Structure 1
Amino acid sequence: MSGKRIVIKLGTSTLTGGGTRLSRRAMLSIAAQTAELLEAGHEITLVSSGAMAAGREALGFTKLPPHIAGKQMLSAIGQTRLMQFWAELFAIYEHTVGQVLLTRGDLARRSGYLNARDALDALLAAGVVPIVNENDTVATDEIRVGDNDNLSALVANLTDADLLIILSDISGLYTADPRSNPEAQFLAVIEHLDESHFAMAGGSGSALGTGGMTTKLQAAQLAGQSGTTTVIAPGTTPNILCRIVAGEPLGTTILPLATRRESRERWLLAERPQGVLHVDSGAVRRLRQGGASLLPVGITEIEGSFDRGDAIKLLAPNGSALAVGLAAYSADELRQLKGRSSRQIAHVLGYTFGDEAVHRDNLVLL
């Protein structure tokens, strides 16, 4: 198996090895496994907790401060140390990392969502490992995701990931708490995640982290809506990442309700088009042959006012509906680009978001 997009969420307990300080040995193991997956052709994004733990270590704090400002201070100090550790460890395997700090507020606006998606795509295309964390230094309750489990699901959606792996000190989902109920049964595969599974989840996880099994199931549910499979597994298991990607049944696997393509198609078809692109016969032929994007050269006319990322309808020369998709440029930008070669985009606009007016991954033929 190669060429998969994978998001890996690393809980604080995984990064500290169950202690109060970041474990260089545990982090080195993650870096080594990630490097192996990269060299096998996969694209990897890490969602890394541990900033506050790194800040506590730097200041010698034994407990978290009770007030928000104190926690933000630890995040500010710890985030730079956390990234320094990751950069040094990945450098051993000759891989580069890049920091991405997000809040829910960044993703609530369409423009922010697209900018975050494009930044992650650019890092992955360059062979860089994005390391994502919540921007706890400036985040408020209104814009916080609140835990890195759900943040990892949002990142899986952003990157259109095939697989989300959530590592923590939790082995997976049981029918009851195995520490108090010897009859608790382990659930290796969940085909249809529902409320009964949330009832089994119980309370929070470790004292160091902010998410327990409930937030992991929330993340799996959110990722599943985008067609992404989730695996919840123990971070202490040797070579856990490579073994999961190789198909070994470890942890709890939660299957999505739809494939990534089905999920995207349903979403696009449900979106109300904000404008119309008329395309020429050559564009119709290329699109119907399958696997092609719509380029500006194939556009003959633009109707309506829409922004980059809005849903639009494509019409053939005879006026029949051809497809729906997401615009890579605004209506005003496309009016300047219609009929032109993609090589002219940067010259005409002074910048470029890519060669395509509508990318094939964001297009559904009717």
Structure 2
Amino acid sequence: MTASRARLNGTRRWVIKVGSSLVTAKGAGLDHAAIADWCAQIAGLRRAGLQVVLVSSGAVAEGMARLGLRKRPAILHELQAAAAVGQMGLVRAYESAFDTHSLRAAQVLLTHEDVADRDRYLNAQGTLNSLLDFGVVPVVNENDTVSTDEIRLGDNDTLGALTVNLIQADVLVLLTDQDGLFDADPRINADAKLVSEAELTDARLSAMAGDSKGEYGRGGMRTKLAAAHTAARSGASTLIAHGRLPDVLLRLHAGEALGTLLKPAQSVMAARKRWIAGQLQVRGKLVLDDGAVRVLREQGRSLLPVGVRSVEGAFQCGELVSCVDLQGREIARGLCRYDADDARRIAGARTEEIAQRLGGPGEPEMIHRDNLVLVG
């Protein structure tokens, strides 16, 4: 057992995500036996002193099975209808399974809007923390019934990582139908080797991660790697393991070398910066000169208008924008203190020139350092 694996036994909060291919047995309805097994393991983790949030896929796939649909609907409202039907069965299955272990479960449906709006983010955070304090196991899912963005683009790997940031969990567990992250695609390369442990700063990881080929799941290894980076903002480690292994959760907690352990290398972000970094809808773009890029990366200072070469998009004051270098590489994200029109007026301006260009007083920073997060 490595030192990194041994430390897992001393953690206090886990977020566990179970994928659609596991929950629904490749689309053939819910696998109640598997759900009961994971819930029994979570009960064991609870007895060991862990607080657990479960992020479960499967609503759309279960709805497809209940409605007799063989292919994932392409029409948005049909997809939402499948999610609505499937969510009923998914929640009932978890409630029944946890009840046999005298554990209460709670359904929590989130959208990206819930993490984009600061007040709603803090409210979701407070609700989840209260549920954990009550000894409840929150079962979190995307609100696919009403949220168009998540159905088209979202995945529960990302939702699991954002939940880690919400509650400052120690570990994100991604249960999948693969043994973990391999150095090559094991489906086509018999010599592929499992990566047991790796630092998230290892540049080779991106080349190893591929996309999902499954009809029911949407999250391949690439999304799992991205989720691990998101979870690392809270200092959390990420475990990727096969969800069908006997007692997989209990064995991971004990430090057994199963799956892949991805270790964070960065320092823990402040709570507000974690919220900013977790925003998924960028409203505009600021192109920075080389001097501004150096100041952000090396000195951690605010972004001033003088370092902005050009402004793209239509955004309001306080909305999220991406900061890129002259080659188009993203450097940072932050909440802009100006709307797009005023940002264009003052782009390249020195501090003493801002009032003249605006026709009145303005803020000295385009993005204050407290509202800016490096991402590149």
- Give the whole-Å Cα distance in 1 for the aligned partners of 2:67 and 2:151: 27
Q: Tell me the residue number matched to 1:36.
A: 44
Shift of 1:140: 2.0
Residue matched to 1:305: none
Q: What SS is found at the alignment partner of 2:145?
A: coil
CA distance, structure 2, for counterparts of residue 121 and residue 27 of structure 1 = 24
1:102 lines up with 2:110 in the alignment? yes
Q: How many residues align?
A: 268
CA contact (8 A) 2:76 2:148 kept: no
Supply the AA of the counterpart residue of 1:118. Answer: G
1:343-354 aligned at under 5 Å gives the runs none
3-state SS of the aligned residue for 2:103? coil
Deviation at 1:108, TM superposition (A): 0.7
Taking structure 1 as the reference length, what is the TM-score of the superposition? 0.69
CA shift at 1:16, angstroms? 2.2
Asked if 1:212 is matched to 2:220, the reply is: yes
Cα deviation, residue 182, structure 1: 2.3
**Partner in structure 1 of residue 142 of structure 2:** 134
Aligned equivalent of 1:188: 196
Q: Structure 2-normalised TM-score?
A: 0.67
Cα offset, 1:264, TM superposition: 3.6
Q: Residues of 2 paired with 1:194 and 1:138: CA distance?
A: 38
Q: Mean Cα displacement is larger for which, 9-18 or 193-202?
A: 193-202
Q: In the alignment, which residue of structure 2 is the partner of 1:64? A: 72
Distance of 1:61 and 1:228 partners within structure 2: 38
Q: Distance in 1 between matches of 2:64 and 2:88?
A: 13
Find out whether 1:11 has 2:11 as its counterpart.
no
8 Å CA contact retained: 2:178, 2:241: yes
Q: What is the rounded CA distance, in whole Å, between the counterparts of 1:265 and 1:46 in structure 2?
A: 22
The 2-side partners of 1:216 and 1:143 are apart by 17
Percent sequence identity is 45
**Residue number in structure 1 paired with 2:233:** 225
Contact 1:49 1:133 in 2 (8 A): yes
Distance across 2 between alignment mates of 1:186 and 1:179: 13
For 2:199 and 2:11, how far apart are their aligned partners in 1? 24
| Structure 1 residues 192-245: Cα deviation after superposition (integer angstroms, max 9, x where no partner) | 344431221122142210111100001001101220000000001000001101
Following superposition, the deviation at residue 142 of structure 1 comes to: 7.9
Matched, 1:246 2:257: no
CA contact (8 A) 1:64 1:71 kept: yes
Q: Which residue in 2 is equivalent to 1:284?
A: none
Give the 3-state SS of the residue equivalent to 1:151 in structure 2: helix
* Contact 2:27/2:61 (8 A) holds in 1: no
Structure 1 residues 213 and 52: alpha-carbon distance in aligned structure 2, compared to 1, 3 A threshold? same
| Aligned pairs for 1:168-317 within 5 A | 168-258=176-266, 262-264=268-270
1:117 corresponds to which residue?
125
1:171–1:232 contact (8 Å) kept in structure 2: yes
Distance 1:178 1:144, change over 3 A: closer
1:3 Cα deviation (Å)? Answer: 6.0
Q: Describe the superposition over 1:68-102 as per-residue Cα deviations: whole angstroms up to 9, x where unpaired.
A: 11110000111121101110111111111001111
SS at match of 1:172: coil
2:175 match: 167
Whether the 8 Å contact between 1:174 and 1:187 is mirrored in structure 2 is yes
Partner of residue 53, structure 1: 61
Q: 2-side partners of 1:248 and 1:4: how far apart? A: 17
**How big is the alpha-carbon RMSD for the aligned residues of Structure 1 and Structure 2?**
2.2
Contact kept? 2:41, 2:247, Cα under 8 Å = yes
User: Equivalent of 1:21, from 22, 29, 47?
Assistant: 29
Deviations 1:292-340 (A, max 9, x none): xxxxxxxxxxxxxxxxxxxxxxxxxxxxxxxxxxxxxxxxxxxxxxxxx
The letter for the 1-side match of 2:149 is D
Letter in 2 for 1:88: S
Displacement over 4 Å in runs of 4+: 142-145, 265-268
